[in-house]
Structure 1
Amino acid sequence: MADHVRDTQAGKASEIRFSHDTIGKNGQHINLDDVDGIDPSPETYAAIMATRKPNPRGPGYIKLYLLAGMVFLCSTMNGFDSSLMSSINVGQMCGALFIWMTDWYGRTWHIFFGCLGVCIGTIVTALSTNLPMFIGGRFLLSFFATCAHTSAPLYLVEISPAAYRGTIAGAYNTFYNVGSILATSSVYACHLHLSDHGDLDWRIPLWLQMVCPGIVCLFIKFFPESPRYLIANDQHEKARDIITRYHTNGDPDHPLVALQMKEMLGTVQGAPKATWKDLIDLKVLVETRSSRYRLMLNVAFSWFGQFSGNNIVSYYLPIMLDGIGITDTNTKLILNIIYSVIGWVFSVAGARLHDIVGRRKMLLSSTLGMIICLALVAAGAAGKVEYGNSAAATMSIVFIFFFGAIFATGYTPMQPIYPAEVVSNKMRAKAMGTFKLTAGAAGFLNTFVGPIALSSIGYWFYVFFVFWDTFEMAFMYFFFVETKGMTLEELDAIFEAKDPRKASVEAKNMQKRIIKERANVMADA
């Protein structure tokens, strides 16, 4: 698809739109006006939103927020597990190999089975009487948790309206901090009150892992499927009903309904229904230049989200606390709770800002802030190690908290969302598996290599991340595509351009101009 601009006569608003011609399977051109049952619409999503914006506080949107809030519990479950004991990387990476099954039987079923498996893994772990049983339970828990909390953001990205996709879907990963707060608080409370009551001190927090996945299991199958999954499986009316209910507050004649149905149908028209072989065929990830570019962004941000100094900073915090004389376990737990609370507050704000400011500006500015904070953390650590300066160690701790706030604002909301946004509908399930494999590999490196490097070269490891994050910032500037305010199908046009990054920036600038002109026309009228 190619985008073009139509300038109207003086005094009228300009309109940016995407051509109705799109590229189907095997490269054939598909005209979206030929899709049966869909009225042609020359508008883009942003142009319609400029004049016919649905009420974001309407009944349909309220239902969508409640639905999303329930799905957020999958992220809470992930944060609880990781903060309680850290996940088993092998289980995570094995679970990532099965994300493609969401294309077979649906997004909500995969979330359901993932949460059910977490409950089973929790029971095995909490009742374990020996180490092999405990490790087996942990493997099950990690495997099924990956199924749930990787398919959950995929589902949210596909069901959220483009104008609020960063806010709704982005808020998903912020609840990782809620899970971390719950886990740390439960450990703190049990350590404080049950340390003299045998193994209840550590078994109760394990049992509490069942709460969030158990709630999701009870309700997830009452939720609608992803409209894009339904379209791919010839359930067009169900998809239309979902868009009408959640995107236009029940108005079936709203132009957003026709636009989105046309776009989604255009992505599957002419393509044969997927067979079992297609479901496990990975060629879709690399078959065209645009798909390879999309996969590059998916893998790059998956790695950046786990390997930007964030995990090393949190690892070093207890050591830095020891360095300034804070050795009490309860005090350290309280400071960890505060760190998680700060992360949650800033990540929630960041989720909204990604829809206001845009992905590129948010990621670039937050990466710059992280570079500055890491440089100051390294300087403070050097002052403590080389000169025994406790004030320098205190400065390091302060900037560790600043780093956490900045990372939470820019990166946390987008960690599972941007990798899902930048891939096409037919790539998304397999690409999310790739996202989790990449994140698992980065987590493996953080877990097993990071502490060794930190103990061997000390604060120089922070210096390494200063340079690494500088590289990340340059990579983002030259290659990352802006996805704010565009439907997932409109992004197809961006990635067909010779330079997708440039095309996305120009498209956003044009949209701003058009919205401003339309506002002026409406004001004059």
Structure 2
Amino acid sequence: MRDVINPLSLPNNAAPMWYRDPGLRALAFPTAIGFGCSISLGYDGSLMNGLLANKFFVSAIDNPDPSKLGLIVAGYTLGGLPALLPASFLADRFGRRVALSIGCLIIVIGGIVQALTTGGWKMFAGRFIVGMGGTFCSISGSAYTAEIAHPRNRAQVAALIQTCWYFGSIIAAWTAFGAGYWNSSWSWRLPCLIQILPPLVQLASMPFIPESPRFLVSKGRVEEAHQVLARYHANGDKQDELVLFELQEIKEALETERTATEGVSYATFFKTAGNRHRLAILIMVGFSSQWVGNGIISYYLVAILESVGMTSPAKQQGFNGGLQIWNWFLAIGGSLCVEWLGRRKLWLTSAIGMFFSFAIIMGCSAAYAEHGLTNAGPAVMAFVFIYFGFYDIAFTGLTLAYPLEILPYSLRTRGMAIMSFCVTCALFFNQYVNPIALAAMRWKYYSIYIVLQALTIMCIYFFYPETKGLLLEEVATVFDGEKAILSAQREGVAADDSKDGSATHLETKDYTEARAV
């Protein structure tokens, strides 16, 4: 066996800095189109907070009681459930661009329904449709973005995908803030209508962006994939060593996938102690990402602010807008520190910080509500920022990145489906139950999330192993022991049989992300 090959050490006809290279500058456009999916999701995530502070909107959806309001807000999450399987199938069968186009078109339809109709159940229908489109975009867009990225930038690109959620939320928050000054129904219709702009830009861009090289190779269109890689990763040099290496990696990964998934099913998660450990982490990550208090603030910030005396719609919307900017910067910073600080340290710092911040939010809310301490209101607002800062540094990026790292190749797609299902269940609970519980219990309801945060800290401490700096087979040994090396070689380590019978070991840390997609 020859020495391990580091692909980034191979000669490559591209400038070290992307903005100085024509091919990489051209690649920035399709990358931005992929980021647009997270932007659309973030826009919806912040839109409802802005609209619920708008008296015209609340009147337009029939002044719903907490139960009905919960269903309207949860319409987006419910819409995503029936789209999970067809979105994945269409992305693999017809290409990332086709699935992405379908998702964008569905979001446009749902956005128009929301903007041009009135009534609570019609708004629910519009959000349900947007949720379906959002799932199509999320599944196809994230895969597309990672698959076209240059190896040199792939880790950063993958980490930044989730942070774009906050960019969309910033747009929604400040759009709702500005439109809120209009004394008409367009104060809420316009923010709903603007929701269709990102998918419209994506739809118009589809003829001008390349298809995923991985999808092209999977359909036997190897020469087209070669051209795409050469165009964007080596300025058209088809004999570039890095491009040839990438092409060979994709071909071998696809062959490995076909071999590794034979006989693999969801039941495989229960067959070994290592896989049961992975399954437990997937479930914990899925639920904890939504059950550490973020759900109650993200979708019902208006109710929290009103409970501590901020009743002005303009101030509520301005607070929401500032919070989303703060979230974006902290999420980017946390994503860029993942490899430097390590996953486990970030997870624990984030969870412990949220626990103490949320406890202070609860205490100050109680002081304001029960004892009339006016100074407690501003303290709650300040600690909402501090709480989300701790959430952003780990949970925004690692909720997606950590499960991808701990799953072996043959179980990766099934594992992510399990985690997505857990996230969806947790989201639906949050969006339906939270308004009812908040109305009934007010600040006392926060105690439920403090208990869940304490449980999350314990789960991270006892069950989340560190994966910093580990190769795929080394991560497998953490869960399965030394015998995992042979399993990892069957699942993800590419080897070429040369004429003299030797083999080339191509698995590297830099290509762990490539294998994930």
CA contact (8 A) 2:279 2:415 kept: yes
1:142 aligns with 2:116: no
Deviations 1:312-368 (A, max 9, x none): 234564344334432111111111111111111211222222244343332222222
TM-aligned CA deviation for residue 262 of structure 1: 5.0
TM-score (norm 1): 0.74
Deviation per CA, 1:2-22: give whole Å up to 9, x if none.
Answer: xxxxxxxxxxxxxxxxxx7xx
- Distance in 1 between the 2:266 and 2:218 partners? 18
Residue by residue over 1:63-112, the C-alpha shift from the partner in whole angstroms, topping out at 9 and shown as x without a partner, is 44432222111111112223223451221212223233122222232111
Aligned residue runs from structure 1 range 474-485, under 5 A: 474-480=458-464
- Alignment pair present for 1:375 and 2:345: no
Check conservation: 2:30, 2:210, Cα contact below 8 A: no
Residue 480 of structure 2 corresponds to residue 491 of structure 1: no
Give 1:14-29 correspondences, 5 Å limit: none
Go from structure 1 to structure 2 and tell me whether the alpha carbon gap of 1:471 and 1:133 turns closer, same or farther (over 3 Å shift): closer
CA deviations 1:46-69 (Å, max 9, x no partner) are 8x49x9997243444434443222
Deviation at 1:248?
6.1
Task: List runs of 5+ in structure 2 lacking aligned partners.
Answer: 49-72, 486-507, 510-517
Report deviation, 1:442: 0.8
Give the drift of 1:307: 1.7
Report whether the alignment pairs 1:78 with 2:41.
Answer: yes
Q: Residues 285 and 431 of structure 1 are in contact (CA less than 8 Å); yes or no, is this contact kept in structure 2?
A: no
Aligned to 1:152: 141
The aligned residue for residue 111 of structure 2 is: 122
1:441 aligns with 2:425: yes
Answer whether contact 1:298 1:435 (CA < 8 A) is retained: yes
Q: What is residue 191 of structure 2 aligned with on the other side?
A: 205
Ranges in structure 1 where 5+ consecutive residues have no aligned partner: 1-19, 21-39, 505-513, 516-525
Q: Is the 8 A contact 2:177 2:314 kept in 1?
A: yes
1:10-44: CA deviation from partner (whole Å, max 9, x where unpaired): xxxxxxxxxx7xxxxxxxxxxxxxxxxxxx66235
Check whether the contact 1:54–1:249 (CA below 8 A) recurs between aligned residues.
Answer: no
Equivalent position of 2:60 in the other structure: none
Q: Using the alignment, how far apart are the partners of 1:73 and 1:434 within structure 2?
A: 25
- Please say if residues 54 and 247 of structure 1, whose CA atoms lie closer than 8 Å, have aligned partners that are also in contact: no
| Identity percentage of aligned residues | 27
Task: Report the residue type matching 2:5 in the other structure.
Answer: E
Instruction: Give, in whole Å, the separation in 1 of the partners of 2:268 and 2:348.
Output: 26
Counterpart position of 2:85: 97
Give the 5 Å matches for 1:241-280: 241-243=227-229, 246=232, 256-257=242-243, 260-269=246-255
Q: For residue 522 of structure 1, what is the aligned residue in structure 2?
A: none
Task: Summarize deviations over 1:284-324 as a string: whole Å, max 9, x none.
Answer: 87486466555544443232222211122345643443344
Tell me, what secondary structure is at the counterpart of 2:111? helix
* Counterpart residue identity of residue 67, structure 1: P
Distance 2:132 2:283 in 1: 20
Write out per-residue CA displacement over residues 185-233 of structure 1, whole angstroms, 9 at most, x where no aligned residue: 222222213x14xx32322222211100111112235333334434444
1:216 aligned partner: 202
- Distance (whole Å) between structure 1 residues aligned to residue 478 and residue 15 of structure 2: 31
CA RMSD of aligned residues (A): 3.9
Equivalent residue for 1:301?
A: 285
Q: Does the Cα contact within 8 Å between 1:299 and 1:435 map onto a contact in 2? A: yes
Instruction: Report the alpha carbon displacement of residue 162 of structure 1 after superposing the two structures with TM.
Output: 6.0
Secondary structure at the aligned position of 2:4 is classed as coil
Amino acid at match of 1:94: P
Write the mapping of 1:391-410 to structure 2, written as runs, cut at 5 A.
Answer: 391-410=375-394
Q: Please say if residues 46 and 299 of structure 2, whose CA atoms lie closer than 8 Å, have aligned partners that are also in contact.
A: no
**Length-normalised TM-score, structure 2:** 0.75
- Contact 1:99-1:430 within 8 A present in 2 as well: no
Per-residue CA distance 1:134-170 (angstroms, 9 max, x = gap): 4433322211111112332233344445664442122
Question: What amino acid maps onto 2:309 in structure 1?
Answer: G
- The CA deviation string for residues 167-186 of structure 1, in whole angstroms up to 9 with x for no partner, is 21222222222222222222
- The equivalent residue for 1:414 is 398
Aligned pair in 2 of structure 1 residues 311, 272: CA closer, same or farther (>3 Å)?
A: closer
The answer to whether the 8 A contact 1:304-1:472 is kept is: yes
Residue aligning to 2:16: 55
The structure whose residues are more often helix, as a share, is 2
Which residue is 1:28 aligned to? none
Cα distance, 1:312–1:127 mapped onto 2, change above 3 Å: closer
Given residue 95 of structure 1, which amino acid in structure 2 is its aligned partner? A
Preserved contact between residue 277 and residue 479 of structure 2 (Cα < 8 Å):
no
In structure 2, what is the Cα distance between the partners aligned to 1:130 and 1:380? 36
Q: Does 149-158 or 303-312 show the bigger shift?
A: 149-158
Rounded Cα–Cα distance in structure 2 between residues aligned with 1:425 and 1:239: 22
